[in-house]
Amino acid sequence: MACAAPALVIFLAFWLLPMARLVAIGASGPEGAAAYLDIVTHASYFRSFVATTLLSLVVTASTLVFATIAGVFLERNDFRGREVLVSLVTFPLAFPGVVVGFLIIILAGRQGILPKVLEALGASGGVFAYGLVGLYLGYLYFSLPRVIVTVMAAASKLDPAIEEAARSLGASPLRVALDVLLPAMVPALTASGAICFATSMGAFGTAFTLATKVTVLPITIYNEFTNYANFASAASLSIVLGILTWLALGVARSLSGASIAAAA
């Protein structure tokens, strides 16, 4: 019990007490506890919630597809420059969200590379950094390295003999991937997908840099807190956002049968 005391103190001081205070603030406004329903009854909050959820789902699905292909390939193939490629692929792990957003602006902002190239070719367009497309690319860029690392770790633990047995029985490479490889990686993919979804739901730095044409939930919370001093709404939306991400992580953990943290 004495060994658990430091962890208990940290849990109480830095999680439970602030969270309890946040819950109380959320219900302290004119609406009382009904403020927790504003996310579905308030039109702007609901639009923000829907945009955030749909964007996070699309980013998660895309990340799992791209990261699974890249991660399995990198783990199963040994070629010259492989270590350099792995380092480059995982390099964005060092970038905070604001830097990722800035990179998207450099690529497709009003003075970005893509618009200037199109202008030189006599075409227009290419400015998509400040809407859903820009956020999608920013979140995808932020999420891919994390999932690729997880996929590579999971693929390294698989028994190649099982896949060889499937091939010897006449299974095509596609059938081997669908019937042998992917089922074996479901726990890792479920865990990393949940983390990707939760990260996308709560991402602030990238959204703060890019979201000028669309509002996602973290930016809505920021605006309520800083621009309108609406502490009750900011707190209630924060709690709802936290519950949604916790639910995603909890469901993924129960489905994968493994620790989310360990899988990541």
190-226 pLDDT per residue, tens? 989 999 999 999 999 999 998 877 889 999 999 998 9
Mark out the alpha helices in 42-181 (DSSP H runs).
43-76, 82-90, 97-108, 113-120, 132-156, 160-168, 173-176
C-alpha distances out from residue 172 to 165, 176, 177, 180, Å:
12, 6, 9, 11
- Res 258 pLDDT > 60: no
3-state secondary structure (DSSP) of residue 204: coil
**Paired tokens of 165:** 């047995």
Which sequence spans correspond to the domains of the chain?
Answer: 55-211+240-263
Among residues 22, 47, 48, 16, the alpha carbon closest in space to that of 35 is found at: 22
**Paired tokens of 197:** 């979804």
Amino acid at the residue 19: M
Q: Which residue has the higher pLDDT, 72 or 164?
A: 72
- Res 257 pLDDT > 80: no
pLDDT in tens, 105-116: 999 998 899 999
Q: What angle do CA 21, 209, 200 make, to 5 degrees?
A: 60
Yes or no: say if 125 and 171 are a contact pair by the CB < 8 Å rule.
no
Query: In this structure, what are the phi and psi dihedrals at residue 42, rounded to the nearest 5 degrees?
Result: -90, 120
Q: Which residues contact 149 (CB under 8 A, 6 or more apart)?
A: 71, 90, 93
Query: Whole-angstrom Cα distance, residue 264 to residue 253?
Result: 12
Query: Whole-angstrom Cα distance, residue 132 to residue 216?
Result: 10
Q: What is the torsional sign of CA 256, 195, 143, 64?
A: positive
Considering the chain, what percentage of its residues have pLDDT values greater than 90? 40
Query: Whole-angstrom Cα distance, residue 132 to residue 129?
Result: 8
pLDDT score for 264: 40
Q: What angle do CA 46, 52, 53 make, to 5 degrees?
A: 90
pLDDT in tens, 139-178: 999 999 999 999 999 888 887 888 888 888 888 888 888 8
Yes or no: say if 119 and 43 are a contact pair by the CB < 8 Å rule.
no
**Paired tokens of 178:** 């669908």
Yes or no: say if 92 and 144 are a contact pair by the CB < 8 Å rule.
yes
Q: Which residue has the higher pLDDT, 243 or 6?
A: 243
Query: Whole-angstrom Cα distance, residue 177 to residue 49?
Result: 35
C-alpha distances out from residue 220 to 48, 55, 185, 214, 216, Å:
7, 15, 36, 10, 6
Q: What is the pTM of this model?
A: 0.86
Third-level CATH fold of 55-211+240-263: MetI-like fold (1.10.3720)
Mark out the alpha helices in 123-230 (DSSP H runs).
132-156, 160-168, 173-176, 182-202, 205-210, 217-222
